[in-house]
Amino acid sequence: MYADGRTWAYQNRSTGIANFQFQHFLDAEKVELPSWEEQRAIAATLGALDDKIESNRRAIALSFEVVTTMLSSGAEHIRLGDIATVTKGLSYKGAGLDDGTGVGALPMLNLASFTTTGELKSAGTKWYTGAFKPQHALSPWEVVLANTDLTQARELLGRGFLVPPQYEGALHTHHTSVVRFFERSEYNLLLWAQLQTAEFRDRAKGFATGTTVAALPPEAVLDFELTIPADLHALLDRARLMIEKAWQLERESETLKATRDELLPELLSGRIRAADLEVAP
């Protein structure tokens, strides 16, 4: 500890992340840290951001759970293949992959974009500058599902997400499929909700082919019977509002995460003081 109360830690050059495990000081440089009092203030500030991110996550999960429940029961059933098509995504070339800064680079959704909760994981997005066909470009509210799974548990196989508006025109890879309805595009919400149910999870695993790499044959989706609830339009209106709110919270959380990661080195260096920041509840 320094005379003025400051402490120091080592920073690993390979990661650039402050490391408080003092035994790792090979190939390292000494980095000054703020006083203990300031460190506690920093922890409280960043903790408030993490609390808000966690609160958003719970609200999103609850919204998805409610929508899934209210859109998954009904007396009427329609075979999906009679009202929609299932189309694989782009079989892309590695040379076309980009870091997102290239001219004309488009976001490309892939297996890393899926979660087990029906959310789109934006951190898994790839970027692509190569050639593609119009059918590979996505529109808002379309359902994209995983037709491949590289894990033994097959937890992602058949999982789906709805395309948020900010991903309009994004591409999707051949490990995913998009479902497009002939006329009733509002059924996208029904399908998305019912892909999350235990019944469809069992169906996807039962239809899976392959050992090391599991694949979902088209008939697993095309022969699936979509359940049509009573009071469909009222339920869809409510569901849309809930999904839009969830998307808003997801965007807010992404901004909060970026802010947190940008603040950490500034706070530790003393260029910004925690007392000067105000984190909204």
Q: Write the secondary structure of 6-69 as one string of H (helix), E (strand) and C (coil).
A: EEEEEEECCCCCEECCCCCCCCEEEEEEEEHHHHHHHHHHHHHHHHHHHHHHHHHHHHHHHHHH
Q: Residue 169: which region, alpha, beta or left (left: phi > 0; alpha: psi -120 to 50)?
A: left
The pLDDT of 87-94, averaged and rounded, is 95
| Confidence check: pLDDT of 237 > 60 | yes
In the chain, % of residues over pLDDT 70 = 86
Please indicate whether residue 211 or residue 107 has the higher confidence score (pLDDT).
107
The pLDDT of 234-248, averaged and rounded, is 96
The pLDDT of 78-106, averaged and rounded, is 95
DSSP, collapsed to helix, strand or coil, labels residue 188 as helix
Residue 152's pLDDT band, with cuts at 50, 70 and 90, is confident
Q: Distance (Å, rounded) from C-alpha 217 to C-alpha 220? A: 6
Residue 26's pLDDT band, with cuts at 50, 70 and 90, is very low
Residue 11's pLDDT band, with cuts at 50, 70 and 90, is very low
Question: Could you tell me which residues are beta bridge partners of residue 19?
Answer: 10
| Confidence check: pLDDT of 48 > 60 | yes
CB atoms within 10 A of CB 157: 25
pLDDT value at residue 268: 76
Q: Distance (Å, rounded) from C-alpha 53 to C-alpha 47? A: 10
Q: Distance (Å, rounded) from C-alpha 151 to C-alpha 140? A: 28
pLDDT value at residue 276: 67
pTM of the full predicted structure?
A: 0.81
| Confidence check: pLDDT of 20 > 60 | no
With the CA atoms of 238, 241, 246 and 252 taken in that order, what torsion angle do they form, in degrees rounded to the nearest 10?
-160
CB atoms within 10 A of CB 191: 23
pLDDT value at residue 39: 79
The pLDDT of 147-168, averaged and rounded, is 92
* Residue pointed to by tokens 């039962």: 206
pLDDT value at residue 280: 58
pLDDT value at residue 14: 42
Q: Which of 26-30, 80-84, 158-162, 167-171 has the lowest mean pLDDT?
A: 26-30
Helix or strand (DSSP H, E) at 246: helix 232-269
Q: Which of 3-7, 29-33, 54-58, 78-82 has the lowest mean pLDDT?
A: 3-7
The pLDDT of 158-167, averaged and rounded, is 96
Q: Distance (Å, rounded) from C-alpha 256 to C-alpha 203? A: 37
Please indicate whether residue 261 or residue 166 has the higher confidence score (pLDDT).
166
Q: Distance (Å, rounded) from C-alpha 62 to C-alpha 195? A: 16
| Confidence check: pLDDT of 15 > 60 | no
The pLDDT of 252-260, averaged and rounded, is 91
Work out the mean pLDDT of the chain and round it to a whole number.
86
With the CA atoms of 201, 119, 53 and 63 taken in that order, what torsion angle do they form, in degrees rounded to the nearest 10?
-80
